[in-house]
Structure 1
Amino acid sequence: MSKRIETTDLNVYYGNFRAVEDVTITIEPRAVTAFIGPSGCGKSTFLRTLNRMHEVIPGAHVEGEVLLDGENLYGPGVDPVRVRRQVGMVFQRPNPFPTMSIKENVLAGIRLNNKRMPKDDQDALVESSLRGANLWEEVKNRLELPGSGLSGGQQQRLCIARAIAMSPEVLLMDEPCSALDPISTLAIEDLIAELKQKYTIVIVTHNMQQAARVSDTTAFFNIAGTGAPGKLIEVGPTDKIFSAPDVQATEDYISGRFG
């Protein structure tokens, strides 16, 4: 199910402003890749190019390639809606649809894509998705209640269940624990460790300890100054990046000397 992502000389623009410059990286399947770096260095912007979410901002465009198992996601005739089904997204703050029940939240993507499904199949998909997000046992007796009534950590897992229901090949997570308490954060981190058995996972985090705990590969982004584009400085196995990085700026950031 999971797939390899490769970007080559990727530049990301908002109008004439280049936000990210010349990123070349390979993101391996069935593994967790963490993007770290100071605020404003392009981590989240680059993350959003991996499923064309940045295009919802007028004037945004890219130069370069993003390949999903060899297919250029920006090739002629490629449907961005299909890309977003293949490459799911979990955002910084839990965002269940407030007027929908827990069950309706899980099925929201299916219905938005006009997929017709018998009730028994819907029920099976809701259960399997909630089990995949480690949420089923907590909510199985209140599926018709509003998703907004769950705790913050439960809401984030509901959003992960909603993404899983679309059968993606890649899961992008933009600071998925930044709004959560430590116990909920641990639950999400445990879930990420389980999900990587099936999916390619890319996570943006400002939490160095979290990156060290959950990721197999770490990529460090940095920025030269205000108005300069973000750049990928170094990428490698997480153990090496945190113990013996090749670039001094990486070590300075990880050790807390800046950022």
Structure 2
Amino acid sequence: MSKRIDAKDLNVYYGDFLAVEGVTMTIDAQAVTAFIGPSGCGKTTFMRSLNRMHEVLPGARVSGQLMLDGDDIYDPAVDPVTVRTMVGMVFQRANPFPTMSIRENVLAGYKLNGARISRSEADDIVERALRGANLWKEVESRLDKPGSSLSGGQQQRLCIARTIAVKPDVILMDEPCSALDPISTLAVEDLIAELKQEYTVVIVTHNMQQAARVSDKTGFFNIAGTGKPGKLVEYDDTSTIFNNPRDQATEDYVSGRFG
């Protein structure tokens, strides 16, 4: 399932405003890639362009190329809904559907796509996804309880289960642990390490220690000033970014001199 992403001179616009400029990078399959950088530098905007989620805002567009295993996801013939099925996203705050049970939350992607599945197929999907999110043992006896009845960390893992239920190729995570306590954060980080065995995983994080712990490669984004576009300053193996970066701005950021 896991697929490689290639961005070539990708620019992301909101109307006439250039938000992210000239990103060229390869995101490896079956690996965790972290995006770091100060607030407003374009890392989340770039991530949202990876599954065309930014297009929900009027006037949003891109130029350049974004390839998923060699297929251009911005080709006019490509349906954005199909892209978002292949490239799932987990948001900063856990967002289970409040009126749905745990089971219904996991199956939400199938329901929204109008897919018809039998009861036994649904049972298998729910168990597979919840096991994949390391949540099955905690909730197997209360699948009909509301998703909102779970703790914050469990809700985030439920959202991850909802994402992997539809078998995407890529999982995007926008600061998935920012609202969680340390124990729940550790559970999600352990899960990320397991997910990369089957998926391409991309995370945005402001936590330098988290990026160093969970990612194989790290991209540092920065911005020259208010109103300027965000740019990818440096992209390399995580150990290199944190221990021997090429760019002075990268070293200043990861060492805590700014950001």
Normalising by the residue count of structure 2, what TM-score does the alignment of the two structures yield? 1.00
Deviation, structure 1 residue 76: 1.9
1:17-43 CA distance string (max 9 Å, x none): 000000001000000000000000000
Matches within 5 A, 1:123-134: 123-134=123-134
The corresponding residue for 1:199 is 199
Q: What 5-or-longer segments of structure 1 have no aligned partner?
A: none
Q: Which amino acid aligns with 2:33?
A: T
Matches within 5 A, 1:5-44: 5-44=5-44
- 2: CA distance between counterparts of 1:45 and 1:220? 14
Matches within 5 A, 1:76-87: 76-87=76-87
The corresponding residue for 2:149 is 149
1:143-179 CA distance string (max 9 Å, x none): 0000000000000000000000010000000000000
Q: Which amino acid aligns with 2:69?
A: D
C-alpha RMSD over aligned residues: 0.3
- 2: CA distance between counterparts of 1:66 and 1:114? 28
- 1: CA distance between counterparts of 2:193 and 2:128? 18
- 2: CA distance between counterparts of 1:50 and 1:140? 33
The corresponding residue for 1:96 is 96
Runs of 4+ residues over 4 Å off in structure 1: none
Matches within 5 A, 1:158-237: 158-237=158-237
Report SS of the residue matched to 2:144: coil
Normalising by the residue count of structure 1, what TM-score does the alignment of the two structures yield? 1.00
Q: Which amino acid aligns with 1:243?
A: N
1:121-157 CA distance string (max 9 Å, x none): 0001000000000000000000000000000000000
Overall identity of the aligned pairs, in %: 73
Q: What 5-or-longer segments of structure 2 have no aligned partner?
A: none
Deviation, structure 1 residue 194: 0.3
Matches within 5 A, 1:111-122: 111-122=111-122
Report SS of the residue matched to 1:85: helix
- 1: CA distance between counterparts of 2:166 and 2:245? 37
Q: How many residues align?
A: 259
